[in-house]
Amino acid sequence: MAETFDIKALEKRMDGAIASLKTEFSGLRTGRASIHLLDSITVMAYGAPTPLNQVASVTASDARMLSVSVWDKSVVGATDRAIREAPLGLNPIMDGQTLRIPIPPLSEERRRDLQKLAGQFAESARVAVRNIRRDGMDQLKRMEKAGELSEDQVKGRSNEVQKATDKHITLIDEALKHKAEEIMQV
């Protein structure tokens, strides 16, 4: 059966790499309260590790304070413990079924570490986009070998793949620049 080449499918996979990068960036602390800061935390609730957003609601009451409203009284202690043990350096204050979490300002050294981590996330996304590009180019070569595409068609589609790759790498670089500025903001 003849293969078909779909540039849209490749672009969709590249978009997925960028979406994944933005998710990773949302978990990086910037000194401002963000409800996404606690997305990666799991709570031991009802005998199983449960994502925090399934046992409580998180709100940012202001730029330096998060509020976690736990729905079930029996899970408040486990939620407090999970937040304290997460590698975010946060210390919740219990207030009934609500946990108030002050967001301390970041030190200069911690900001630089977070910037490096953001750079690593961006590099992983670039590698993912390049791997998708390689998959597309390999598919074009297979189609040319099988006689499904002429050399000129392969050249034209290769250029499309390269343009999509360049566009997505630029988007990653812009997202990293924005996140780095956000991290360094005092």
Digit-coded pLDDT (tens) for 129-152: 999 999 999 999 999 998 898 899
Predicted pLDDT at 102 = 84
Region 107-129 average pLDDT = 89
Predicted pLDDT at 142 = 92
Crossing angle between the packed helical segments 151-184 and 108-145, to the nearest 10 degrees: 170
174 or 33, which is more confident: 174
Digit-coded pLDDT (tens) for 30-46: 666 777 777 778 888 88
Could you give the CA distance from residue 131 to residue 91 in angstroms, rounded to a whole number? Answer: 40
For residue 27, is pLDDT > 60? yes
Tell whether domain 35-102 is in CATH 3.30.1360.40. Answer: yes
Predicted pLDDT at 105 = 77
Crossing angle between the packed helical segments 151-184 and 7-26, to the nearest 10 degrees: 10
pLDDT exceeding 90 applies to what percent of the chain? 35
Predicted pLDDT at 177 = 94
Cβ atoms of residues 172 and 125 within 8 Å: yes
Could you give the CA distance from residue 31 to residue 115 in angstroms, rounded to a whole number? Answer: 13
Domain boundaries defined on the chain: 7-26+107-184, 35-102
173 or 68, which is more confident: 173
Predicted pLDDT at 75 = 85
**CATH number at 7-26+107-184:** 1.10.132.20
Region 163-173 average pLDDT = 96
Digit-coded pLDDT (tens) for 63-93: 788 888 888 888 888 888 888 887 677 788 8
